[in-house]
Chains A and B, each alone.
Chain A
Amino acid sequence: MTAAPEARRAFGRGVAGAVLWPVLGCAVVMAVWWLAGWRIAANPDTANFAGFAPGPTLRRLADLVARGELWRSVGPSLGRVGQGMAVAAALGVPLGVLIGGSKALRAATHIPFQFLRMVSPLAWMPIAVLSFASWDGAIVFLIAVAAVWPVTFATANGLAKIDPNWFKVARNLGAGPVQTLRVVILPAIARDVLTGIRLALGVAWIVLVPAEYLGVTSGLGYAINDARDTLEYDRLAAMVLVIGTLGFALDGLCLGAIRRFGWDHER
């Protein structure tokens, strides 16, 4: 079979792309981390920070998992991000549908919304603290403020690019406005909305940690701050590892949803 070596090579390229290079990349990062940890431990001036090295970090991580302490940090953080994202979606999707559906509204809201979008969510911190009775409320507010814009803009974008013929067909077959929304608009923009939510979640996850430096006594941000104050650098590094891993996993979930609910890939 003359095709066999070619097929084997193609298969080889597939394995290299899917496994080999990612593994190699992670290995390089681990090596740099290990080397840096070794240098820090070797230098008497920085030896206090030896906990940052992979060994102590991973040992501490296993310990945090075993004692259930990790979940006590992760649970509240996920709860806050979930609530903030829910608020952002509940506001952003309808707002995006309205803006995408009306040229006038789009023109009227463009400058104010671009302005608000450019203000760092953390700049609202004093206002959030003043206007919410609980720290939790303030943090959810900050996450929602950060997340609402990507959702709104992506939804509006999706709506604006719907083929007008699709509305014509729906009216032609006797659809009312609510039916048009459910049967045509929402499926048509599902992919755009989920892409917006994915972007929003990325921002929300970044805002989460500094927001949790606020008064609360739980969550990943609090854990980082606390570890710094108690000089437990291995715990600090373990928390950073957890934050990155969870963010990566959440992004993967969004990507899965986009693949599942997007329809263009069928083409």
Chain B
Amino acid sequence: MPAPLLSVQNLGHRYRHRAELVLRDVSFDVGAGEAVAVVGRSGCGKSTLLHLIAGLAQPTAGTVHIHGEPVRKPSARWVVMFQQPLLYPWMTAFENTALGPRFAGRRREAPKLVGDLLALVNMADYAGTNVQRLSGGQQQRIALARSLAAQPEILMLDEPFSALDTFTRRALQVEVRAIAKRLGITLLLVTHDIDEAVLMADRALVMDARPGRIRADLAFHHLPDERAIDDPAVQFERGRLLAALGETTQAPQPGDFHQI
């Protein structure tokens, strides 16, 4: 069996010495080109998990390996797209998107790459616009283009579309999966939205809270590559995921999940 692209082993984390254990013994592998969703309710430690995997914070226990190498610090080879756009307000959409190539010393490639990516996220007309003039949804599109412009092997998404309206969210969920599959980018997505998981992932890991642990691993074998929420197969897998979530130690509370 080939080594997995990403391997998470016995990951544990507390924010402060003797503080509450946020993550306990989290282990899973992700293969190259796979799209994996980690699903759990708010506060179960999803963002923490993503920060640890990306090397933006150091775990108190366990290891993360990418290509068999331990992750010690962030790298443009794996990029997190955060919950908020976090664009630099003094820059245009183009300048924000071109940051990855700029940091990598590939400024000359930037115009073409960034132009293509802005077109891909339907923001080509706004290349020269200061990002403070863009709406939340437009900003998040630029954040997506910026993540892709770094040309990562792994794109890690932290509930990236939760602030957007349903229409935009649906479109981006389907588009991002299609883009990642086309470019061969591995997707690791954390979300509390089960629709997002079934629309975007090949596999879902169900996470418990307090402490955060993986309690189920569901593969979506029967889903087509191109997803639509009203597809009966998608609805079927959604039901399975919902059932698996229902078995988590705490019953879901109103507002915990979208679309329940």
Contact = CB atoms under 8 A, between A and B. Distances in A.
Contacts of A263: 89-90, 130, 132
A172 B90 contact: no
A58 interface: no
Contacts of B82: 165, 168-169
Nearest to B89: A263
Contacts of A166: 86, 88
Nearest to B77: A174
Contact of B90 (A170, A173, A175, A187): A187
Interface range on chain A (Cβ under 8 Å from partner)? 20 to 34
Interface in B196-240: none
A190 B89 CA distance: 13
A266 interface: yes
B103 A173 contact: yes
A165 to B, nearest CB: 5
A171 B100 CA distance: 10
Given A166-B88, A171-B74, A267-B89, A183 B99 contact: yes
Nearest to A265: B132
A175 B100 CA distance: 8
A174 B132 contact: no
Among A169, A175, A190, A264: residue with most chain B CB under 10 A: A169
A174 B100 contact: yes
Contacts of B150: 173-174
B146 interface: yes
Contacts of A165: 82, 84, 86
B76 interface: yes
Contacts of B117: none
Interface in B67-98: 73-76, 79-80, 82, 84, 86, 88-91
A74 interface: no
A175 B89 contact: no
Contacts of A267: 89, 132
Given A168-B56, A183-B102, A267-B132, A174 B86 contact: no
B73, B88, B132, B146: most-surrounded residue (chain A CB, <10 A): B88
Given A188-B88, A266-B89, A266-B133, 16 more contacts: A165-B86, A169-B82, A169-B86, A169-B88, A171-B56, A172-B54, A173-B100, A176-B103, A183-B103, A184-B88, A187-B88, A190-B90, A263-B89, A263-B132, A266-B130, A267-B89
A168 B104 CA distance: 17
A174 B104 contact: yes
A173 B88 contact: no
Interface string A183-205: 11001101000000000000000
Contacts of A169: 82, 86, 88
Interface in B102-136: 102-104, 130, 132-133
19 contacts: A165-B86, A166-B86, A168-B82, A169-B82, A170-B103, A171-B74, A172-B54, A172-B74, A173-B150, A174-B100, A174-B150, A179-B103, A183-B102, A187-B90, A188-B88, A190-B90, A263-B90, A266-B89, A267-B89
B103 A266 contact: no
A188 B146 CA distance: 19
Contact of B76 (A173, A183, A188, A190): A173
A98 to B, nearest CB: 23
Contact of B56 (A172, A174, A179, A264): A172
Interface string B145-162: 010001000000000000
A92 to B, nearest CB: 22
Contacts of A188: 88, 90
B166 to A, nearest CB: 26
Given A166-B86, A166-B88, A266-B133, A172 B103 contact: no
A179 to B, nearest CB: 5
A175 B104 CA distance: 8
Contacts of B146: 173
Contacts of B86: 165-166, 168-169
Nearest to A165: B86
Contacts of B100: 173-174
Given A183-B99, A266-B130, A266-B132, A174 B90 contact: no
Nearest to B95: A183
Given A183-B99, A267-B132, A174 B88 contact: no
